[in-house]
Amino acid sequence: MSLDIPLLFETGQPGRANRYLREEAAATTYLPPELLRETLPLPEHTELDVVRHFTRLSQRTMSIDTNFYPLGSCTMKYNPRVNDASAALAGFRDLHPYAPDALAQGALRVMHTLERALASLFGMHAFSLNPAAGAHAELTALLIALAYFAQRGEGTQRTTVIVPDTAHGTNPASAAMVGYKVVSLESDARGRVSLERILSTIGPDTAVCMMTNPNTLGLFEDHIAEIAAAVHAVGGLMYYDGANANALMGNARPGDMGFDLMHLNLHKTFSIPHGGGGAGAGPVGVSAALAPFLPTPIVRSQDDIFALDFSCEQSIGPMRSFWSNFAHMVRALSYILANGADGLAQCSKLAVLNANYLRVKLRDVIDVPFDELCRHEFVASAQGLKRDTGVRALDLAKALLDAGYHAPTMYFPLLVPECLMIEPTETESKETLDGFIAAFRAILTQARRDPSVIQSTPTTTPVARLDETQAARHPNLRWKPA
């Protein structure tokens, strides 16, 4: 299989490179000799050839800048360019991570302001901006819980973490990494945590109860107060996976619901490019009782002077080098300030409206197992379609690519067979949503008329169906010279 775009390594020719350094200036003019390589086998190209190469490659992929991208749970909203412009301001971009506090007051103010804004938006006592993604934040929060229980002399008693079966896979993985025993909780018939089941699971060994709200079915958990009371009654902690905070920011606060710990995915909710597993930002929020355990450094402010505090005795220590992904903090703050509190609340409302619009416009052509008012996303199931026609969720996802839409999330959460998790976000227009609805309905009509057409999609993308087993078992990732 070939993408029919040769690699730069294959097309380079000696002598082609644009040279901006004058030939007579030896490299040692700029760098000490011990840093120089003896050989550097890079291909030589003109700048124009390089620009065309990468532009061509970029046109062969789908991105939020090119196509509607309803990837559930991932919140692929538009990333306003002003965020990037703010992050690229020379004062931020050129700042050295070892710069003394006195020379980094603007950057420290950004961190402090963002931290305060998140604390007030989500009702937490304090946030750490240290963790670099959602999963990393879960790990951080569970290390905080571990330190908290150790300090109370309950380290050996608190052994379990409760995780509903709708949770993102990172939840049980993070708990296991910290050494907790994971108790998975089966959802009830309404796609929510079963109050009865969880109450009989909570006990003196409960360290943390991890909840995702709205859960990955896009449904708001409706027994939080009772669950929080029961967990607190046995001395356990409530954790809020807020990766999907786009459904509630500015409208409801986990801190008010009784959560002691939470994380946010700034790269989802607060509009930061995050396709392809790029750098993220996963702040962890805590109640006052847990604040002493937050990672270092902590940005302190006194009389409008900001300083990094590394001297917190009970801290679990740094989770990430330097200031973590600082540029993302600038982007997130830029987004918060541009929208304001009202604007953020409005974003949430529109995200919920858009998801419900799609749900209602599609439920007569595809099963929606939990067909009730949803939050930011909803889950459809192709199980009936598969039974009738053989067409699976995967086939629908591939057919959508041909129609110019990125596929929804597939086969997650695990409790809905053949599922597609659809999250439109607030930044899509009604016209775009209507286009998606029309395309999806046409695909379903075709699936019932002639399944083979849908099963042989995609036909318009640079590569057709891949042998996913081969790709997983024998990945071919390395270029070798001919």
Given the complex with ligand PLP, which of 12 and 242 has the nearer CB atom? 242
Q: Coil, strand, or helix at residue 371?
A: coil
Per rule CB under 6 A, is residue 246 in the interface with ligand PLP? no
CA distance 154 to 134: 27
Tell me how far, at minimum, the Cβ of 135 lies from ligand PLP, in Å: 3
**Which stretch in 37-45, 141-149, 237-245, 346-354 sits in contact with ligand PLP by CB under 6 A?**
237-245
**What distance in Å separates the CA atoms of residue 221 and residue 192, rounded to the nearest whole number?**
6
Sign of CA dihedral 287, 292, 298, 300: positive
- The residues in 83-142 that bind ligand PLP, with binding defined as CB under 6 A, are 133-135
Element (H, E) at 263: strand 261-264
249 scored as a contact of ligand PLP (CB under 6 A): no
> Minimal CB distance to ligand PLP: which residue?
134
For the bound state, the minimum distance from the C-beta of residue 263 to ligand PLP, rounded and expressed in Å, comes to 8
Pick the binder of ligand PLP from 79, 130, 170, 325 (CB under 6 A): 170
Contact 356, 373 (CB under 8 A): yes
Closer of 115 and 241 to ligand PLP (Cβ): 241
Q: Verify binding: residue 400, ligand PLP, rule CB under 6 A.
A: no
At a CB cut-off of 8 Å and minimum separation 6, what does 195 contact? 223, 226, 227
Asked if residue 208 binds ligand PLP (CB under 6 A), the reply is no
Judged by CB under 6 A, the stretch of 16-24, 122-130, 238-246, 314-322 that binds ligand PLP is 238-246
Q: Is 280 in the site for ligand PLP (CB under 6 A)?
A: yes
* Secondary structure letter of residue 453 according to DSSP: H
Interactions with ligand PLP, residue window 343-362 (CB under 6 A):
none
At its nearest, how many Å lie between ligand PLP and the CB of residue 210? 9
Question: Dihedral of CA 87/91/96/102: which sign?
Answer: negative
Q: Decide if residue 207 touches ligand PLP (CB under 6 A).
A: no
Closest approach of ligand PLP to the CB of residue 240, in Å: 10
Q: Say how many Å lie between the first and final Cα of the chain, rounded.
A: 16
Give one DSSP letter per residue of 288-345, joined into a string. GGGGGGSPSPEEEEETTEEEEE---TT----SSSTTSSHHHHHHHHHHHHHHHHHHHH
For ligand PLP, the binding residues (CB under 6 A) are 73, 133-135, 168, 170, 212, 216, 241, 243-244, 265, 280, 282
